[in-house]
Copies of this chain bind each other. A is one copy, B any other.
């Protein structure tokens, strides 16, 4: 059966999510792209790094900002396999990410289309363009398999 291929940044983020699962971390991956190049990447890693803020998006954003040597990521895209939580949505706004692409929706923890809906808050000064659903099936499969094994 033919399988539609994914945009490369989301395929990259999914590979990072798989790498997270291999180290016992919840499989979520993220990349920051500028002018077609990945300038920062990360996967969920709070357990291994003893860092409760080490969600994939935060790791990728910090890496990208360090690589550019500046605090803001204007003109950059963030690709992440799962709907960002409030912490990560806040970081995306602070970082001035231009476009957010995420895979699976997360009714329990997501804060884009669920919960705090952070980019709909009048208080949020910078909102990225948001595109969802790309790679959602693969992202969900990784999470489902991870939690099934841990049961």
Contacts and interface: CB of A to CB of B under 8 A. Distances in A.
Contact of A53 (B47, B52, B62, B118): B62
A53 B94 contact: yes
A66 interface: yes
A88 interface: yes
Nearest to A66: B50
A68 interface: yes
B91 A53 contact: yes
Interface of A: 46-47, 49-55, 58, 61-62, 65-66, 68-73, 85-91, 93-96, 108-109, 111, 114-116, 118, 121-124
Main secondary structure on A side of the interface with B: loop
Contact of A71 (B50, B109, B121): B50
Given A86-B89, A123-B114, A66 B94 contact: no
Given A87-B91, A121-B116, A123-B109, A51 B62 contact: yes
B51 A65 contact: yes
A65 to B, nearest CB: 5
Nearest to A48: B71
Contacts of A51: 62, 65-66, 71
Contacts of A90: 85-90, 111
